[in-house]
Amino acid sequence: MKDTKLFYIGLFIISSSVISLEIISTRISSVIFVHNYAFIILSLAILGLGAGSVFSFFKLMTVDKSYFQHLFNKLLLLFALSIATFICATIVLSITNTFLFFLLLFLPFFFAGILYSQIFRHNADNSFKLYASDLSGAALGSVLPLFLLGKLGATNSLILISILVLLFSIFIKSYYSGKKEPVPYIFFLVAIVVLIINGSREFLGRVPIGNFPEKDFYYVYDNPGIRSYILDSRWSIYGRADLVGYSHQDVVRHLFIDGAAGTQMYRFNGDVKNPGKLLASLLLSHSTSIPFLFLSSEEKDTMLVIGPGGGKEILTGLLSGIKYIVGVEVNPEFVSIVKDQKAFNGGIYTDFSNVNIIIKEGRHFVKQTKDKYDLIVIALPSTEQLQNIDALAMNENYLLTKEAIRDYLRVLTPEGMMIFTLHNRWELLRLIVTVMYVYEESGVSHKDVINHLAIFDDQNTPTIVIKKLPFTKQQISEWAERRKKIPNIFPNLTFLPSEDLDIRDGNHNINDFLLKVSSGNLTLNEFVNNYPFDITPCKDDSPYFYKVSRKLPNEYMWLAFFLLTINIFLISILLVRFKKEVDKGYLKILRKLLTIIAAIGVGFMVLEVSLFQKLILYLGSSTISLSILLSSLLVGMGLGSFLGEKITPNRHFKRLRVISILIVLYGVILFSVAPYVLNNFLSYNQYIRICVVYAMILPLGLLLGVPFPTVIKFLRDNKYEKYVPWMYGISATSSVLGSVISYLISMASGFNLSFYLGLVLYGLVFVVLIKN
């Protein structure tokens, strides 16, 4: 086997391992930390790629290719051991300290950065094929965790990855030494078999849940004497689903995703006619259940529950006499656990013919369905867990945007209503404002919108009912009468659209706002603009419903500033070295190459994150969206890199000019045409939609795969390959900066602007080289 082929294989393995590590560590950090800490830690840890590249520039500058061949297996060994050390130490030592976790996670990326930069440096002649191998491995790494997490769990998956890298390290050592040592192969192969047989059982123990206020796992009950214990735990790409029981009772259990977003599962005997007074009382203690007591018989035909989780709303619907119930749950592990717990929950997901549970993203289901529903129920929609890699970790879902409200109204029957339960009154106010703007677009004035609303106040979890048509006087009278029969111990109706009824208990601020808007004493725009917190309606282009402050989050602004400083520092140092070491004739050209590397590093990540967000609604799952996007982009880039050298051979700058302008042109066409094309394919099955998306994104990937290896090849052709590690480091650090920038821009102005910024950065490549 030729040495070059070994490097191709090695780069493929390293890239697939790095991307898999990135995705799986995202899931692990989401269990331990809250979303903002996790995102910052991951961003800084991925800087290890850049740090390793810069380190190799200084410490391995004098290493020639023959010596690096012998150093190769040692670096692979360090990379593998650092992955194993990260996961073993995190679990065995129950590490929840942010700095220790960051340090452990930083090391694998650091060693990977050394490997990347040195492989590209010593094989710069073959930069196009190397980059193709790199991207092909990354494409595999982007889909591998989808299977590994479900089959092996996060812990065993990382151990398996570290063993596979170790095996390749042993192979490299044997290849160069000429000695065949079968014992290590046998040992590690046996270890792999044991891991696969063991499956998702985590023999090292569970990843610890960090004790943060946002982690509901620790705060279900105030009594510190109550002990909680995990009955079942399952990993998936969505996170870790835990079923939790309690020492003082066995009537209510909770399902958590990454230790947060708790959803109840109740002990139920399966008899809807005689469920028991305790169960009825427990259900009615939640404001979501109270509106069911106000429903008329013609409002009980069909119900859609988005995000049923542990089945509380499904159970409420069954006991309330709803004739047909559809539950749409995005997390398959939640559904699987509830089904397996049928002996406890009465088989609410399995034993009732009028209950249909569908595994799908809720908003996508609503966009696809042609059915009509009397009720649409969304209770406590929580989306502040880490989702996936890079800025993809910051994505919100699309359940509470203006477009979502329009979609819900479309599938409601004339007598239909939406029931939303929120986390607090600020969220309730923001949802009311969103609804008012949506109704205004359909010709209903702000002051008339309140005739569609009823509020059931609960200090922690208020519920709002939004009727498709206004309340009639008879309905108002009937609801007011039923309100009187609700015991004081339960949440109750606090707002109805009638001046004659005095039902303003405990919800004065929101009631005052509604009555002032209704009377014309206050305009909605005036109220929204003067409110101290952000209550502007969210759109699909910027679906950050839970962003309280009008300003961008300070922690991410500081992160962006830090990353920008790092990039400026790296670029400045390299510019100084250029000035000292490079012929004046090439100095200006190398400066331009630095600009290009930084621009495509930031630009690529901005494009990737923006496309990911846009695909969620059409593919029906953030997981599928991420996998299809990454695989289509990376496969396309791999092909583009493999074939790119044939474009204007030996004329590197012309190639960069042509490719950069094609990226801009195709990007504009893609972003303009894609929504119309994808909307027309919404009714088709998922496989057809995936093929359509793949076909649309693959050409963009082909183009994006050309610029980076072109820069590396230029450096090699002009005897400046020693700068390849530094250039690779800048590419890595600027990519991390790009992920943060994309998140901030999308929060401020939307993903459309973010995408076009990415295109502008590729346009900058054309402008920089226009005179060359």
When pLDDT is averaged across residues 14-32 and rounded to a whole number, the result is 92
654-683 pLDDT, tens digit per residue, is 999 999 999 999 999 998 888 888 888 877
When pLDDT is averaged across residues 100-118 and rounded to a whole number, the result is 94
By the 8 A CB rule, do 540 and 533 touch? Answer: no
By the 8 A CB rule, do 74 and 136 touch? Answer: no
Element spanning 467, H or E: strand 463-467
By the 8 A CB rule, do 76 and 119 touch? Answer: no
**How many angstroms separate the CA atoms of 422 and 462, rounded?**
6
By the 8 A CB rule, do 514 and 432 touch? Answer: yes
Q: Could you say which of 156, 189, 209 is where a domain stops?
A: 209
Assigned token pair, 286:
């939640």
The reported pLDDT for the residue numbered 407 is 95
Q: CA 721, 723, 727, 728: dihedral to nearest 10 degrees?
A: 60
Does residue 330 lie within any of the structural domains? yes
The reported pLDDT for the residue numbered 519 is 78
154 and 195 assigned to the same domain? yes
- Reported confidence tier of residue 715, pLDDT bands at 50, 70, 90: confident
When pLDDT is averaged across residues 487-508 and rounded to a whole number, the result is 71
515 and 558 assigned to the same domain? no
Count of helix runs (H) and strand runs (E) in the chain: 25, 12
> What CATH number is attached to the domain comprising 725?
1.20.1250
Element spanning 726, H or E: helix 724-748
- Reported confidence tier of residue 421, pLDDT bands at 50, 70, 90: very high
By the 8 A CB rule, do 354 and 324 touch? Answer: yes
Which residue range forms the structural domain that includes residue 391? 278-530
**How do strand 324-329 and strand 302-306 relate by DSSP bridges?**
parallel
523 and 563 assigned to the same domain? no
- Reported confidence tier of residue 392, pLDDT bands at 50, 70, 90: very low
Is the pLDDT higher at 70 or at 635?
635
Is the pLDDT higher at 312 or at 497?
312
The reported pLDDT for the residue numbered 5 is 83
Does residue 305 lie within any of the structural domains? yes
146 and 178 assigned to the same domain? yes
When pLDDT is averaged across residues 143-149 and rounded to a whole number, the result is 88
The reported pLDDT for the residue numbered 34 is 82
Element spanning 435, H or E: helix 425-441
Assigned token pair, 532:
């101290």
Residue whose tokens read 């009823």: 454
The reported pLDDT for the residue numbered 65 is 67
Q: Could you say which of 192, 209, 226 is where a domain stops?
A: 209
328 and 296 assigned to the same domain? yes
Residue whose tokens read 């040592």: 181
In 27-96, the DSSP E strands lie at: none
Is the pLDDT higher at 179 or at 763?
763
Whether pLDDT at 621 is above 70: no
Q: Could you say which of 209, 228, 247 is where a domain stops?
A: 209
Beta bridge pairs of residue 240 = 235
Does residue 269 lie within any of the structural domains? no
Does residue 241 lie within any of the structural domains? no
Lowest mean pLDDT among 141-150, 356-365, 401-410, 644-653: 644-653
375 and 471 assigned to the same domain? yes
526 and 594 assigned to the same domain? no
Helix (H, G, I), strand (E, B) or coil at 542: strand
Residue whose tokens read 């995408």: 755
424 and 370 assigned to the same domain? yes
471 and 573 assigned to the same domain? no
**How many angstroms separate the CA atoms of 598 and 596, rounded?**
5
Give 565: exposed, middle or buried? Use CB within 10 Å, 0-12, 13-18, 19+: exposed
> What CATH number is attached to the domain comprising 85?
1.20.1250.20
Centre a 10 Å sphere on the Cβ of residue 710 and count the other Cβ atoms it contains: 26
Provide the residue type at 659 as one letter: I
By the 8 A CB rule, do 70 and 128 touch? Answer: no
598 and 696 assigned to the same domain? yes
Lowest mean pLDDT among 281-290, 468-477, 525-534, 621-630: 621-630
The b/e string for 247-280 (b: 16+ C-beta within 10 A; e otherwise) is eeeeebbbbbbbbbbbbbbbbbeeeeeebeeebe
Residue whose tokens read 């600009």: 595
Residues whose CB is less than 8 angstroms from the CB of residue 584 and which lie 6 or more positions away in sequence, other chains included: none
558 and 485 assigned to the same domain? no
When pLDDT is averaged across residues 195-219 and rounded to a whole number, the result is 85
651 and 761 assigned to the same domain? yes
Residue 574 Cα distances to 54, 600, 720, 737, angstroms: 10, 18, 13, 18
> What CATH number is attached to the domain comprising 507?
3.40.50.150
Give 71: exposed, middle or buried? Use CB within 10 Å, 0-12, 13-18, 19+: middle
719-745 pLDDT, tens digit per residue, is 888 888 888 899 999 999 999 999 899
The answer to whether the Cα torsion of 756, 761, 762, 763 is positive or negative is: positive
Does residue 381 lie within any of the structural domains? yes
231-278 pLDDT, tens digit per residue, is 999 998 888 999 999 999 999 999 999 988 789 999 999 999 999 889
**How many angstroms separate the CA atoms of 499 and 190, rounded?**
76
Nearest residue to 234 (alpha-carbon basis) of 261, 204, 206, 270? 206
Does residue 374 lie within any of the structural domains? yes
Helix (H, G, I), strand (E, B) or coil at 221: coil
- pTM of the predicted structure, to 2 decimals: 0.90
- Reported confidence tier of residue 717, pLDDT bands at 50, 70, 90: confident
The reported pLDDT for the residue numbered 2 is 64
| Inter-residue long-range contacts of 502-509, CB under 8 Å, 24+ positions, other chains counted | 505/457, 506/457, 506/459, 507/425, 507/455, 507/457, 507/462, 509/425
Residue 300 Cα distances to 284, 318, 353, 629, angstroms: 18, 10, 16, 41
Nearest residue to 693 (alpha-carbon basis) of 618, 640, 607? 618
Does residue 96 lie within any of the structural domains? yes
Centre a 10 Å sphere on the Cβ of residue 409 and count the other Cβ atoms it contains: 17
The reported pLDDT for the residue numbered 523 is 85
When pLDDT is averaged across residues 290-295 and rounded to a whole number, the result is 95
The reported pLDDT for the residue numbered 90 is 95
Assigned token pair, 618:
């059409």
Assigned token pair, 529:
């603009």
Element spanning 379, H or E: strand 373-379
Side-chain-side CA neighbours of 191 within 13 Å: the count stands at 17
Average per-residue pLDDT for the chain: 87
Q: How many domains does the chain have?
A: 3
**How do strand 373-379 and strand 228-236 relate by DSSP bridges?**
unpaired
Does residue 226 lie within any of the structural domains? no
The reported pLDDT for the residue numbered 396 is 66
